[in-house]
Amino acid sequence: MIYALMIPLMAFAIWRRVRGTFGRQPIRRKRMIARIAVFTAIGALIGLGGLHNPRLLEGLLGGALAGAALGTVGIKLTRFERDAEGNDLFIPNPWVGGLLTLLLIGRLAWRFVVVMPQLQDPAMAHSGPAIGNSPLTLAIFGLTIGYYICYFAGLLVHHRRFERAQLAT
């Protein structure tokens, strides 16, 4: 039952993420700060869940570090501009966000395929096979979390620089 509720929510979240990867996006400082806080909280909660198995925690932390490096690359490939009404916009590189989204969707789909037979077995259904009970899955979660924390923080910093440059001209 939980999976029946989670799959449509995940599909909606993925659709929104893909939509936000392409084209001009308005800069919304409060939303970006809120997203940084949410991703930090999610990373901390997943990290706390991984304390019982150091391999899971290593996967999460390694993925987060790689995600931060990828976020730095994503910021360098992002363009900033101002529209006719004077609103500040950013244009993210579609390849970085798109590939990261595909990697996350692919890994989650693979884990569902692996876990689904365990869910069919009544004896295993009560033990609760975890979708994130794999170091590789947590590395990809960490990659996503690290990327978006670094990317949104970088957007805020570069937007401030963009505003100053616009005022100077």
Residues 6 or more apart from 97 whose CB is under 8 A from it? 17, 20, 21, 74
Tokens of 22: 């392409």
78 pLDDT above the threshold of 80: yes
Query: What is the pLDDT, as a whole number, of residue 151?
Result: 95
Q: Strand 79-82 and strand 25-26: pairing?
A: unpaired
CA–CA separation, 50 and 142 (whole Å): 12
The mean per-residue pLDDT over the stretch 67-72 comes to: 95
34 or 83, greater pLDDT:
34
**What stretch of H or E contains 81?**
strand 79-82
Residues 6 or more apart from 116 whose CB is under 8 A from it? none
68 or 167, greater pLDDT:
68
CA–CA separation, 123 and 157 (whole Å): 52
Q: Write out pLDDT tens, residues 114-156.
A: 777 766 666 655 555 555 578 888 899 899 999 999 999 999 9
The mean per-residue pLDDT over the stretch 13-20 comes to: 72
Least confident of 68-72, 92-96, 133-137: 133-137
C-beta separation of 101 from 16 below 8 A = no
Residue at 134: amino acid letter: S
CA–CA separation, 149 and 133 (whole Å): 23
DSSP class of 25: E
